[in-house]
A and B are shown apart, each in its own frame.
Chain A
Amino acid sequence: DTGVSQNPRHKITKRGQNVTFRCDPISEHNRLYWYRQTLGQGPEFLTYFQNEAQLEKSRLLSDRFSAERPKGSFSTLEIQRTEQGDSAMYLCASTLSSGYNPGELFFGEGSRLTVL
């Protein structure tokens, strides 16, 4: 199966530590998205890339958050100095901008972060 892959699936860390999540999109997809989902809520948009360019960042993405997609393939989302409020599921999605329906996103299974 060559769907969207996210690692690690679960991460438990202590407050103040840095964490990094990786997303491998579907290989031919040029757009990659990060969303965050807390318990009982729908996903919230964080940022997206078209190829290697980061085209939009949500105001939710504080200075402690940084995302990269250096070669237009996989992406990383780093959270520095984690806070308990960062505990959430971080979802990655990808799509093809020239596809029939560029709004149809293919999601990974998410990376669940717990900050103690």
Chain B
Amino acid sequence: SQELEQSPQSLIVQEGKNLTINCTSSKTLYGLYWYKQKYGEGLIFLMMLQKGGEEKSHEKITAKLDEKKQQSSLHITASQPSHAGIYLCGADNTGGTSYGKLTFGQGTILTVHP
């Protein structure tokens, strides 16, 4: 079965700093999803990547999928307290036929100090 390893497990940064979270898969990624979760709440979809080398941005968050499709990174520029939360990567391990059965990493807890 597919496993996703996220690093770091937790991150504390000062407001305004840039940061990167990594997600490494044990198998080829057919669909890689980034979600954000506030403590004790549900997940909110951020971005989805499918193609090797693909890069997407939303506001100050950029996600990339490497050419070999086994690693993704999430980069936040000029972090703000509103970015704080748990970031989760999830993989669609259905060989490209996405139907929502995702395998998630363990999450990265981000704290942003004002």
A contact residues vs B (CB 8 Å cutoff):
4, 31, 33, 40-45, 48, 56, 89, 91, 93, 95, 97, 101-110, 112
Contact = CB atoms under 8 A, between A and B. Distances in A.
Contact residue range for chain B? 20 to 34
Given A42-B107, A48-B101, A107-B43, 19 more contacts: A4-B42, A33-B100, A33-B101, A42-B106, A43-B88, A43-B102, A45-B101, A45-B103, A101-B48, A101-B98, A102-B98, A103-B33, A103-B98, A104-B33, A104-B48, A105-B100, A106-B45, A108-B42, A110-B42
Given A48-B100, A105-B100, A41 B107 contact: yes
A42 B42 contact: no
What 5 A-B pairs are tightest by C-beta distance, nearest first? A42-B104, A107-B42, A103-B98, A107-B43, A109-B42
Contact of A42 (B41, B88, B100): B88
B90 A42 contact: yes
Contacts of B4: 42
Contacts of B107: 40-42
Contacts of A56: 101
The interface centre, meaning the residue of A44, A102, A112 with most chain B CB atoms within 10 A of its CB, is A102
Interface of B: 4, 31, 33, 35, 40-45, 48, 88, 90, 92, 98-107
A31 B90 contact: no
Contacts of B99: 31, 48, 97, 102-103
14 contacts: A42-B4, A42-B88, A42-B104, A42-B105, A43-B43, A43-B88, A101-B48, A103-B48, A103-B100, A104-B48, A105-B100, A107-B35, A108-B42, A110-B41
